[in-house]
């Protein structure tokens, strides 16, 4: 596998999600204390937790095998008069995003190993916001020099 930096990985995920879903990367952290008038509808955030997957064995010279637990969190407004429809749309968006990230074609995944681990969904207090998270494991090599 070729070396991939963290910023490159973040950019690749962002591009895949924005291309398929119409969601945009949030410039602010997604938080559960939203004002209904917020502009956070159809926003997402990418969280990468990182570990050294190989530690001291089978180490390629000059590279570390890196593994990320990636949580991609999405926020969708559920307006009071249209909650069910928006919830169903969000479920469809979720499937589209999973498919886009899991696709094996092109250069998106050629130097990554990606595994879908699961999803979680939560309607936030007040009932006007759906926060859903897609969780992946991603492995790649990182050049040490």
Domains assigned to the chain: 6-28+38-143 (3.30.2000.10)
13, two tokens:
């995920």
Q: Is the per-residue pLDDT at 50 higher than 70?
A: yes
**What is the rounded average pLDDT of the residues 116-138?**
91
pLDDT attached to residue 94: 93
pLDDT attached to residue 56: 46
- CA dihedral 56→60→61→63, nearest 10 degrees, is -90
pLDDT in tens, 14-47: 998 998 888 999 877 666 555 555 667 888 999 9
Q: What does each C-alpha distance from 110 to 15, 45, 50, 134, 138 come to in angstroms?
A: 16, 23, 20, 21, 12
CB 63 within 8 A of CB 145: no
pLDDT in tens, 57-116: 555 667 777 888 999 999 898 888 889 999 999 999 999 999 988 887 766 677 888 899
């Amino acid at each position: 596998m070729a070396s991939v930096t963290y910023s490159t990985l973040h950019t690749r995920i962002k591009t895949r999600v924005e291309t398929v879903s119409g969601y945009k990367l949030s410039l602010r952290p997604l938080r559960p204390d939203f004002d209904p008038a917020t502009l956070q509808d159809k926003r997402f955030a990418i969280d990468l937790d990182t570990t050294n997957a190989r530690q001291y064995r089978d180490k390629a010279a000059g590279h570390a095998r890196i593994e990320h637990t990636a949580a991609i969190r999405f926020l969708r407004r559920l307006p009071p008069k249209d909650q069910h429809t928006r919830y169903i749309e969000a479920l469809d968006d979720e499937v589209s995003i999973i498919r886009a990230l899991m696709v094996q074609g092109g250069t998106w995944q050629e130097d990554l190993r990606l595994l879908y681990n699961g999803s979680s969904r939560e309607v936030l207090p007040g009932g006007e916001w759906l926060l859903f998270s897609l969780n992946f494991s991603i492995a790649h090599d990182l050049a040490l020099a």
